[in-house]
Amino acid sequence: MDRIALKYGINPHQGNATLSIEAGALPLTVLNGTAGYINILDALLGWQLVSELKRATNLASAASFKHASPAGSAVAVSLKSTERAMFFIDEEYPLSEQATAFVRARGADRLSSFGDFIALSDRCDESTARLIALEVSDGIIAPAYDPEALALLKKKRKGSYLILQIDPTFAPPSLEERTLFGLTLTQERNTLLLDETVLSPIVTRNRALSESAKRDLLVALNTLKYTQSNSVCYAARGQAIGVGAGQQSRIHCTRLAGEKADLFHLRQSERILTLPFKKGLSRNAKDNAIDQYLRGELIDRDGVFTTPVAPMTGAERRAILGGLDGVSLASDAFFPFRDNIDRARQSGVRYVVQAGGSVRDDEVIAACDEHDMVMICNKIRLFLH
Name the phi and psi angles at 141, rounded to 5: -130, 135
User: ∠ at Cα 73 (68, 74), nearest 5°?
Assistant: 165
Q: How far is CA 293 from CA 107, 281, 283, 304, 323, in A?
A: 17, 16, 15, 11, 21
Contact by Cβ (8 Å): 298, 202: no
- State the catalytic residue, choosing from 32, 222, 230, 378: 230
Residues in the chain: 385
The secondary structure of residue 280, as a DSSP letter, is: T
Q: Is 190 a catalytic residue?
A: no
SS3 state of residue 109: coil
Q: Is 66 a catalytic residue?
A: yes
Q: Is 229 exposed, middle or buried (0-12, 13-18, 19+ CB in 10 A)?
A: buried
| Bridge partners, residue 69, by sequence | 66
- State the catalytic residue, choosing from 13, 158, 279, 385: 385
Q: How far apart are CA 89 and CA 79, in angstroms?
A: 10
Q: How far apart are CA 110 and CA 252, in angstroms?
A: 21
Q: Is 288 a catalytic residue?
A: no
The secondary structure of residue 202, as a DSSP letter, is: B
Q: How far apart are CA 261 and CA 357, in angstroms?
A: 26
| Bridge partners, residue 20, by sequence | 3
- State the catalytic residue, choosing from 7, 67, 154, 252: 67
Q: Is 230 a catalytic residue?
A: yes
C-alpha dihedral (249, 250, 252, 255), degrees to nearest 10: -170
Q: Which of these, 273, 218, 235, 259, lies nearest to 83 by C-alpha position?
A: 273
Q: How far apart are CA 335 and CA 346, in angstroms?
A: 16
- State the catalytic residue, choosing from 66, 156, 260, 371: 66
Q: What stretch of H or E contains 310? A: none
* CB neighbours of residue 313 within 10 Å: 10
Catalytic site residues? 66-67, 230, 385
